[in-house]
Structure 1
Amino acid sequence: MGQAQSDESRPPPSHEELTKALASKFADKCFTPLELYSLKDVFKSLSDTEQHIRYLKEDTIARFLEIPDIVGVSPILFQMVSYIGAFPFLQDAPAVLGLEQMVMVITIMTERYRRVLANDAADRRKLLFKSLAVHDRKLSAMDSDKGNTESVETDVTMAVHGGTQPLGFHIDAAGDDDEEDVGQEEDDELVLAAFDSLNYIDVFQHGNSPTIHSAMIPADNIRKLIMLLLLIAPLDSQESLASHASRVSGSELESLRTTAESILAAFLNIETAPGIKFPRFNAVIQSSMPFIFNGFTALFEHFLFSKNLDFHKHIGGQESTPSLPPQIIQPLLQDTGSIMNINVLCQLSLFIPGDSLFRKVRLLYSGDDDGFSMGSFETKVFNWRAPTILLVSGIRLTDEPGHKSYGAESTFLSTLPPKRFPHGSKGETERLTFGLYLGHHWKHTHRECFGGEDTLLFQLAPVHDVFRASTINKDYVSYTKHSGATSHAGISVGCPPPQPTQAYRRSSTIALGSTSLVLDSSFEFGCFTHDYTTRGGAFQTSPARKFDFQDRFEITSLEVWGCGGDDEAKQQAERWAWEAREAEARRKINLGTGDIQADRALLEMAGLIGTNRSGGSMG
């Protein structure tokens, strides 16, 4: 009884005591002894000291992680870690980055906290948003070129002498906000889970941390962060970011910026909005780029590998084994294409797991090299028995008043329904890039489409957008060649399959799905449709562009990339060899009439051989 009274009279733990307790728990549960030893060694070698306090500065972290100066993202990254370092007392941000604070940062940035805290991905997204947000309604105090936080030296002095936190993390009083902000939860589930894990849930006070109401991430800040995230997307834990230095110079840097602009366009229109608010931030990431922050894991795990540790030496300092030759690193992208490059590959990794892409994709078909024909497409692609990625790029067809189309363009447009939506983005002659991720192998369509629920329809430029497959409507992909029984040939994604009918009953227009992509049989023209009002198609509508739009374009490049390794390539080569042998056997076949030329003519009439065929079919 007396013990209980003693516990009740004990004062509640201080912020410092709880922070130490949580850091200790993270260290024990989320790191191996070797990783923890390495972290302490790295921190000791990098830290500065002021008033007996060890801490890390912005330039020290940027230099250690090898963040390229030309991207200008170091102040933004330091703002993030200074905020997260204050976890779970986010109202005290920015934090002085001591060892305990770095334990918080690394645990959260590498998602190791999942071993201790019960939560879901939305909790971390909210925390990352707050760490990036500028809490000034007029954005007047933000100057991203000069940095987003005050100097660490000032922060240390304030911490030692009990000063107040800098105003950079202060939030103005709420005013008139967008409707999308109404009803947003302000509680930090991740913080609540942290206090719950320490059995100090009573310490948590709702609203004691900076609110996301009316806070936003400036457009320029998110642009620079996206460039960094594209750079680190393929990074391994012990791989130097400096090894990718070629990606931030010359034409490669320009390509990186262009890709980042397309991703930024998914979040906001920079001409009309100064920044991104949480509802938009959360919705776009959840649907169109769920893996965008995965690169932080490898980047911040660099702190867990000390260069002072050498396992090839005995205590006496002598090497136990001879040094191994340097390992040859396989390139991220083995082939080159008109559309695909390293930055596009990293953009794809935002919504397709990177372990299926980096060092795994190979070019199967290129219209530039193999010809823009369904025959070439079928020969190169149909034998690949693993997932594929189709990329198509083109120039938007103009629909200015008075413009008339002729020839093939007029023929293609005549097959589209007369109902016309506005463009999906600005620019009359803008370059567009769409794509398809297909987990099933390609085949001819007869009465039903092929594909599965993992099929993805997406746009890469000028706006990044991902349209996920429906679990109800199965009209995913169709591949139809010209025949007497079909009226419309080509590749269709998200459209009803063409039904064989009698000639007089065929429709003159293509039945477009509510969210669909159509490529004509000659691979000259394409059309992407987004009927947001109707919905209910094989692919979901965009969470970012909640309006009807349609983009008709002339195809300039078409590529198909196979996702897989050497086993898939070997199987494809074996099937090609089999078809070649079958074709040769058919060429030499003798029907026994004694007239080889007559026999050959008969086989050609039957469609079994001929100059326009590539050989036998596995279908």
Structure 2
Amino acid sequence: MGQDSSSEARVLSHEQLVKELAARFADKCFTSLEIFSLKDVFKTLADQEADVQYLKEDTMARFLEVPDALGASPVLFQIASFIGAFPFLQDSPTILGLEQMVMVVTLLTGRYQRVLAGGAKSRTKLLFKSMAIYDRKSADIRVDVGQASGEVDRGEDVDQGEDDELVLEALDYLGTGTVRATEGPPTTRKTVVPAENFRKLIMLLLLTTPLGPQEDLSIYSERTSGPQLESLGSTADCILAAFLDGDESSSISYDRFDAVISTSAPFMFDGLTPLFEHFLFSKNLDLNRHTGETPVVQPPVEVIQPLLQETGSIMNLDVLSQLSFFIPGTSLFRRLRLLYSGEVDGFSMGSFESKVFNWRAPTLLLVRGNRLPGGDSHKSTGPESSFLSTLPSRRLPLGKSDDNDTLTFGLYLGQPWKHTHRECFGGDDTLLFQLEPVHDVFRASTLNRDYVSYTKPSTATSHAGINVGCPPPQPTQTYRRASTIALGPVSLILDGSFEFGCFTHDFTSKGGSFLNSAARQVDFQEHFEIVSLEVWGCGGDEEAKHQAERWAWEAREAEARRKINLGTGDIEADRTLLEMAGLIGANRSGGSMM
């Protein structure tokens, strides 16, 4: 009888299996209060026709407070209507009833991992398919090639029955491992995501990424109008450029989508979690009414600190959100402090050192510049010519110039800054990245550890400046100085005067201290004149207090050295001797604890 019952249990309709999976998700992935809230919110929002209750696009958009200016509501509703059909995705788009909304909230908030083992890769594929359309043009091309060669790509035929890993896990979880969809949505090989739709979603994700639990999206409404909306759109364009294969591309393939997400934007969709968790907090929920207890006096509402205490010439809320796509938001939001600004503190390595070296927590360096003209028609002179002469004679193709010749690069450094003598500094968590005009992240490699070097101008060094991904400058004698800088395959250099910079991406060499770009598999080099340079400290009050203490200590030491009397009876002569020894002077900080 046990076998008969088991066999009968497997012969269930899609609708019955969806109800069963939704019930299990509700039981295993939510607390009793959360599922009560979800049911209450759905009941409050749902429209009804005959015996069917469902959510409409405009209802969902109003509840989640999706700004009309972004035009993202249709894209978000398309995603929900697709995922709501889980695990039978061939039934999408589906009507969003209660069971379907359980699927949507479970999958978009990552709660499915409490019962299913599928990881980020499975979720990425599911999100891609939820936005994708059938790429008939690509399919026609493959058919023509097959007919011309007289062969049939059976691998493609097999792939037509492709199921997501999460789908297979869900069916196995229901005990229906033998049940498979005979027909499904087009596979990832035959679908693409329209670029314009994805751009709208990116703009929404830039807004949602800093959301905390129960925070309303409307608190960032000022970012969706006027110049703020233009800035948001410009940032979205830079991110979108990483997903497109060339300027003429209007769609995104799965391979490109997966490569960029996994390397340059692993936290891109994290903002969907707090957004859809709004369905788990009913405004009608009154705990005291259910328990019969005396109403509890609520504590004063905590004042929420701004996401960014101050803006810089480069750093703003949009850049901050962009950074959170590949650096955990817990290290960024309400945690950044401006340590150094070239426009305020001066473009000099001395100012940089005095402002940055005492910070004992991770830092973010951002540099923005204007692309230098290239080609035979451009004749560089003066400082520009001197800088270019320090680069190796083997030049890579220059980056493509377009309407936007503004370049923004950056560095995330988990270790404190220090002077470079024989070895570079930095750890495996060091990140070299580009924000503009193309979003790209170059992660630390294990081939070598030449991550970062900081070398001030002196007679003992060939080339001063900040080098990222390059071999450390070697001590030299004046008459034996190296004529050019040793550039790393993937590297960024800023000259000692903070006037010029160079970014190198030698894809042919397959990387060095940093991995190659997953999106741009070509050789290129960018030369630029520095316009802005900033360093931001990633830390809170404790890190700032520690830095202030070190500054105070150095100030006391400097004052003590200025008062040193060598016993000659002539204070000015004593000071002259100390300056000649290099112990004090206008360019000295007065001492160091290092």
TM-score where L is the length of structure 2: 0.94
How many Å separate the matches in 1 of 2:128 and 2:179? Answer: 24
Aligned partners of 1:187 and 1:207 also within 8 Å: no
- CA–CA distance in structure 1, aligned partners of residues 141 and 4 of structure 2: 42
Query: 2:200 matched to 1:201?
Result: no
1:440 alignment counterpart:
415
The 8 Å contact of residues 90 and 210 in structure 1, kept in 2 or not, is answered as no
CA contact (8 A) 2:374 2:398 kept: no
Q: Using the alignment, how far apart are the partners of 1:224 and 1:396 within structure 2?
A: 28
Structure 1 stretches lacking a partner, 5+ long: 140-170
1:107 aligns to 2:106 (yes or no): yes
**Which digits, 9 at most, give the CA deviation of each residue in 1:82-133, with x for residues without a partner?**
0000000000001110110000000000000001111221111111000000
The aligned residue for residue 168 of structure 1 is: none
Confirm or deny that 1:189 pairs with 2:196.
Answer: no
Q: Equivalent residue for 1:121? A: 120
Residue 446 of structure 2 is matched in structure 1 by 471
Tell me the CA shift for residue 614 of structure 1.
Answer: 2.4
Partner SS for 1:199? coil
SS across alignment from 2:261: helix
* 1:211 and 2:210 aligned: no
Q: 1:214, CA displacement in angstroms?
A: 2.0
The answer to whether residue 482 in structure 2 is matched with residue 507 in structure 1 is: yes
Question: What CA distance in whole angstroms lies between the structure 1 residues aligned with 2:61 and 2:476?
Answer: 65
In the alignment, is residue 536 of structure 1 matched against residue 511 of structure 2?
yes
Q: 1:273: how far off?
A: 1.5
CA contact (8 A) 2:41 2:279 kept: yes
Q: In the TM superposition, what is the alpha-carbon distance from 1:309 to its structure 2 partner?
A: 1.7
For residue 580 of structure 1, what is the aligned residue in structure 2? 555
Measured on the aligned residues, the alpha-carbon RMSD in Å equals 2.1
How far apart are the structure 2 equivalents of 1:7 and 1:587?
Answer: 89
Secondary structure of the 2:17 match is helix
Is 2:88–2:181's contact at 8 Å kept on the other side of the alignment?
A: no
- Helix, strand or coil: the match of 1:251? helix
Moved more, 523-532 or 604-613: 604-613
Q: Quote the residue 2:76 is aligned against.
A: 77
Secondary structure of residue in 2 paired with 1:579: helix
2-structure distance, mates of 1:419, 1:3: 75
Q: Which deviates the most, 183-192 or 510-519?
A: 183-192
Aligned to 2:367: 392
Alpha-carbon distance between aligned partners in 2 of 1:7 and 1:64, rounded to the nearest angstrom: 42
Determine which of 269, 273, 281 is the counterpart of 1:297: 273
Unaligned runs of 5+ in 2: 147-154
Match of residue 150 from structure 2 = none
**DSSP 3-state at the match of 1:201:** coil
Closer, same or farther in 2 for the Cα pair 1:429/1:199, shift >3 Å?
closer
Q: 2:251 aligns with which of 275, 297, 312?
A: 275
- TM-superposed CA distance for 1:548, in Å, is 0.3
Distance 1:493 1:45, change over 3 A: same
| DSSP 3-state at the match of 1:41 | helix
- Pick aligned residue for 1:266 from 214, 239, 242: 242
Answer yes or no: is 1:606 the counterpart of 2:575. Answer: no
| CA distance in structure 2 between the partners assigned to 1:274 and 1:413 by the alignment | 36
Opposite residue 237 of structure 1, the aligned amino acid is P
The question of whether the paired residues in 2 share the 8 Å contact of 1:425 and 1:462 is answered with: no
The one of 172, 176, 201 equivalent to 1:225 is: 201
Deviation at 1:595, TM superposition (A): 1.1
Q: Which moved more, 1:199-208 or 1:324-333?
A: 199-208
Other-structure match for 1:61? 60
1:291-323 CA-partner distances (Å, limit 9, x unpaired): 00000000000000001123466877x972445
Query: Which residue of 2 is the match for residue 244 of structure 1?
Result: 220
Distance 1:5 1:348, change over 3 A: closer
Contact 1:398 1:429 survives alignment (8 Å)? no
Q: Is the 8 A contact 1:591 1:599 kept in 2?
A: yes
Q: Please give the secondary structure, in 2, of the residue aligned with 1:432.
A: strand
Whichever residue aligns with residue 131 of structure 1, its letter is S
- CA offset at residue 231 of structure 1? 0.6
2:489 aligned with 1:518: no
Alignment of 1:570 with 2:545, yes or no, is yes
Change (3 A) 1:176 1:423: farther
Instruction: For 1:4 and 1:527, locate their aligned partners in 2 and report how far apart those are by CA, in whole Å.
Output: 70
Alpha-carbon separation, structure 1, partners of 2:300 and 2:502 = 52
Quote the Cα distance in structure 2 between the aligned partners of 1:10 and 1:303. Answer: 32
Aligned to 1:153: none
Distance change (3 Å), C-alpha of 1:446 and 1:135: same
Is 1:359 the counterpart of 2:358 in the alignment?
A: no
1:309 paired residue among 271, 285, 289: 285
Alpha-carbon distance in 2 for matches of 1:542, 1:371? 33
In structure 2, what is the Cα distance between the partners aligned to 1:290 and 1:463?
A: 16
**CA–CA distance in structure 2, aligned partners of residues 245 and 110 of structure 1:** 23
Give distance in 2, aligned partners of 1:373 and 1:572. 20
Instruction: Tell me whether 3-12 or 129-138 shows the greater mean CA deviation.
Output: 3-12
Partners of 2:213 and 2:301 in 1: CA distance: 17
Amino acid in structure 1 at the alignment position of 2:121: A
The answer to whether the Cα contact below 8 Å between 1:134 and 1:216 also exists between their aligned partners in 2 is yes
Distance in 2, matches of 1:508 and 1:523, equals 19
Distance 2:136 2:488 in 1: 42
The DSSP-based 3-state class of the residue aligned with 2:338 is strand
Paired position in structure 2 for 1:161: none
Deviations 1:402-444 (A, max 9, x none): 3222221111111001222223343287000000000000000
- Distance in 2 of aligned mates of 1:173 and 1:486: 58
Over the matched positions of the two proteins, sequence identity in percent amounts to 66
SS at match of 1:190: helix
